[in-house]
Amino acid sequence: MGKLFLNALRGAIAALVCVIAAGASAQSATPPAGLQWQWMHEFNFNTNNFPDTGTLEEKSLLAKIWEKEINSTISTTNGSLMLSTALMGSVEYNGTKVILTMFDSANSDCIQPGNGRSMHDMYGTCALRLIRFLPDGKSNVQDLPTQFCMLDVDSPNNPRSKNHNEYAFDQRTGIVYLRVIQYGKVVLACNRALRIFKVQ
């Protein structure tokens, strides 16, 4: 998979999905009842201070997906690479697998949350990268705009169990739904829906 993926990165970016809820409209992205929600796995690079929540194989794949961005996090102080974080989820339909992933670092294009004592929302907004692995071995990549909420918090006061990203796939419609759990509650403004498969 690694060689195929690297070949895809060198190719042209292809249109993979139809965005059916690109903005922050919670109503248009309201997921149907009965979906099985999963946490997006979190991976941290250039640090040993924060645990990953996925597998080594997944982290190796993300290191290739975000290689350019990871290697651009160079500190102006000592020239070392700084902390960067990526989230990952995956869905599969009729032999085609799609990776959904977001990336954040000190110099990323994400819009960071505010700070200070009055801060309430802890999530930023980042681009979503989609990688589609087709049954014939080919793969394609697409970056969607910086409008997807990303929350990577884990502390005694704000544990990951109450603060994380989730996704769910509706095989009946080919739509994947994304949401953020913050302080143990769904953030309606972060609800998104993407049609990534054409279902007959």
Tens digit of each residue's pLDDT (9 = 90 or more) over 23-76 = 322 234 788 999 999 999 999 999 888 889 999 999 999 999 999 999 988 876
Q: What is the Cα 4 distance to its own chain's centre?
A: 21
pLDDT at 1 over 70: no
pTM of the model: 0.82
Residues whose CB is less than 8 angstroms from the CB of residue 36 and which lie 6 or more positions away in sequence, other chains included: 168
pLDDT at 9 over 50: no
Residues whose CB is less than 8 angstroms from the CB of residue 88 and which lie 6 or more positions away in sequence, other chains included: 40, 41, 43, 54, 58, 61, 62, 99, 100, 101
Q: pLDDT, tens digit, for every residue of 146-165?
A: 789 999 888 888 999 999 99
SS3 annotation, 112-158? CCCCCCCCCCCCEEEEEEEEEECCCCCEEEEEEEEEEEECCCCCCCC
> What's the farthest any 2 CA atoms get from each other in the chain?
55
User: Hey, is 169 helix, strand or coil?
Assistant: strand
Task: Please classify residue 142 by burial: count the beta carbons closer than 10 Å to its beta carbon, then call 0-12 exposed, 13-18 middle and 19+ buried.
Answer: middle
